[in-house]
Amino acid sequence: MHVAIIGAGPRGLVELQRLVEWQRQTKRFERLQVTVIDPYGVGGRVWQIDQPHALLMNTNPNNVTLFADHTDQITGPIVTGPDLYDWTQRDARDFIVEHAPAQSAALLAEIAEIRPNGFASRSLYGAYAAWFYAYVLKSLPDSVTVRLVQEEVRAVTPQDGQYVVATAGPTLLADKVVMSLGHTEDELSPEQHELARFAQEYGLHYVTPTHPQEYDFTAIKAHATVILRGLGLNFFDAVTLLTQGRGGRYFRGDDGLLQYQPSGREPQIVAGSRRGFPLRAKGVYTTAESDFVGQFVNMDWINSFTEPGSLSGKELLQRVQREIEYAYYQVLLPERYPDADAAALLANFAETGRSDHLIEVANVRPEDQFNFDEQLNPEKKYPYSDQRDVMLAYLTDDVRTAQRGTKEGPTAAALEVLRDIRNDIRAIVERRLLSGDDYYHYILSTFKRADGYLAVGPPDTRIEELRALVQAGVVTILGPEMAVSFDTQAGRFKTWSKTYPQTQYFADCLVEARLPAINAETTINPLIRSLFDQQLAHPQAIDVEGDAKKTGAVAIDPVRSQLRPGTVASQGIFFWGVPTERENWFTTTSPHPDLPDTVIKGADRITAQIFGTVE
């Protein structure tokens, strides 16, 4: 049996270990050969050791692993091992010293100070991935061979019950293929084509959506104005590279607030987005994820729905909002209203699904009441956000909210619910419990926007740094409804806020500060295009009000990770990961320890099919 794994990021590495451990336990094949193919090598494109060390993960190191554990709902063997944090305390130093990667000194300094609920560098996770790969290879059964091919896969073609895997270098013949892909580049949109054409004509610098570790800012001169479109995770990475990456440093002022000392080599950064506010900081993690038990959204409730389309999207979002409110008041009442009978009031809330009784009996002040609309639309609380003092006030509040932590901070605890219920939402999506209409309108539109803003933000330290940069005048945040265009008379890009259009900014550099969109129809990835050309793969479409709406995902069976609608020719191909986002829910996370993990479960399901234990 020859299995080709395309992609050596976390999913590909987990799949590799699943194959090895299944073979060790079952001895199913006389010989098992596994070829891992990735042009970037172990860690894939995102988790390279030699990327700028200042770039951070946005998940705590004690919440990241590549190993299965006894909480995982899998049928295959469980071989436990250290999570990222435990690895830094046990094996990391020896591995880094022995292999001496380019950033050894920085990595060794990092592991000496890392906290379990802090945030590791992405290069450290890359080192963990490299160690994991070496760990798997060190104890291979005699019947297993593994090799790594650092090439891009151009096509996979069925041939006589096997698959020809064509790369830019060697061509392989495999019995099964597991495609574990990440974000891929897209064709430029009409607007991006125009911006690129303008940049070329006038000698400007235009950066299309890409991975932040690949940004090349060498052409950007000190004090030049740079426009960053987007206030998400890529924005923070770009800002880090243009400030710390150019020698700037942070220090504590006499007032205890973080301040920025410029190096003199920074550009002037102007940034914005539709909302006009950066993603919310992640709350300092002080509770265990496995401790969460939903009052309104939980597996008992989900299991009461057995038919596809039987769950109301409106009811689901109402329950999510109640779950968030419940978590908020669970922390708020003991802290600020100690005379209230919190247990009784929360029990009433859980039973009735209404918070008004709790608010009335505890006499919760208006400013202490949870306001979901205000959380989603911060401009309502912070109008005139284009003014520096207003943005500073918002960022200061966000830092304080995050640093109070998920155990003692009511708002941080409330927003943490969006991460706690991810497995519940995944189960709903996998089982197709929502109708096409409800899934499209309530989940892919309303909920995804809220979750993307409130629950996938940067470490609190990044917001604190941004506050210092805004105060120092290095970064300017536009108000809501950012607009970008170009001025042929000036020969420069320009940007402004449609909400506050009185001020316009001109620049020679425009950066699309975001990853490429997940869109199967516009991807330029040659492997995915080849699958479409051969009719082996198709874009996902869902029925919305009688119309087939494309979601951007590659259509798969989310349980079996096989291409839909499926043919005899595609039966040996398994496809999972980021390009299936919307067929699956939230595919961009690495495996988590100490709770049932979908990456571990997905890899085990694929392996069970390869080993012939699933029909």
Say if 548 falls within a structural domain: no
Residue 543 forms part of a structural domain? no
Residue 538 lies in a domain: no
Residues 363 and 295 in one domain: yes
CATH number for the domain that contains residue 505: 3.50.50
- Residue 526 inside a domain? The answer is no
Query: Which of 478, 494, 512 corresponds to the end of one domain?
Result: 512
State percent of the chain over pLDDT 90.
97
If asked whether residues 237 and 311 sit together in one domain, one would say no
Torsion-angle region of 495 (φ positive above 0: left; ψ -120 to 50: alpha; else: beta): beta
Q: Are residues 228 and 112 in the same domain?
A: no
Number of domains in the chain: 3
Strand 268-272 and strand 225-229: pairing?
Answer: parallel
Residues 481 and 406 in one domain: no
How far is CA 490 from each of CA 54, 193, 208, 233, 495, rounded to the nearest angstrom? 35, 20, 22, 31, 13
pLDDT for the residue numbered 263: 98
Q: Clarify whether residues 322 and 273 are in a common domain.
A: no
* The pair of three-digit structure tokens given for residue 69, joined into one six-digit string: 């554990």
pLDDT computed for residue 285 by the predictor: 78
Same domain for 121 and 32, yes or no, is yes
Bridge partners (DSSP) of residue 177 are 4, 573
Smallest CA-to-CA distance from 14 within 43, 39, 41 is with 43
Whether residue 359 sits in one domain with residue 340: yes
171 belongs to a structural domain: yes
User: The domain containing residue 439 runs over which residues?
Assistant: 289-454
pLDDT of 286: 74
pLDDT at 287: 62
Instruction: Please check whether residue 300 lies inside any domain of the structure.
Output: yes
One domain, residues 13 and 140:
yes
Q: How large a percentage of the chain has pLDDT more than 70?
A: 99
| 159 shares its domain with 202 | no
Distance CA 548, CA 375 (A): 33
Verify that 309 and 370 share a domain, yes or no. yes
Distances in whole angstroms, Cα of residue 537 to Cα of each of 7, 551, 554: 18, 14, 7
Is residue 529 in some structural domain? no
In this prediction, the residues of the chain whose per-residue pLDDT falls under 70 are 287-291, 614-615
Euclidean distance between CA atoms 494 and 486, whole angstroms: 5
Other Cβ atoms closer than 10 A to 213: 18
pLDDT for res 614: 61
Average confidence score pLDDT of the chain: 96
pLDDT at 332: 98
pLDDT digit string, tens, across residues 187-225 = 999 999 999 999 999 999 999 999 999 999 999 999 999
Residues 141 and 266 both lie in one domain: no
The answer to whether residue 450 sits within a structural domain is: yes
Same domain, 477 and 603: no
Closest by Cα among 103, 410, 449 to 279: 449
User: Is the bond preceding 565 in cis, omega lying within 30 degrees of 0?
Assistant: yes
| H-helix segments, 353-481 | 356-362, 372-376, 388-403, 405-408, 410-420, 422-430, 436-438, 448-454, 460-471
CATH of residue 130: 3.50.50.60
C-alpha separations of 269 from 115, 325, 449, 494, 496 in Å = 31, 37, 26, 13, 13
pLDDT at 290: 53
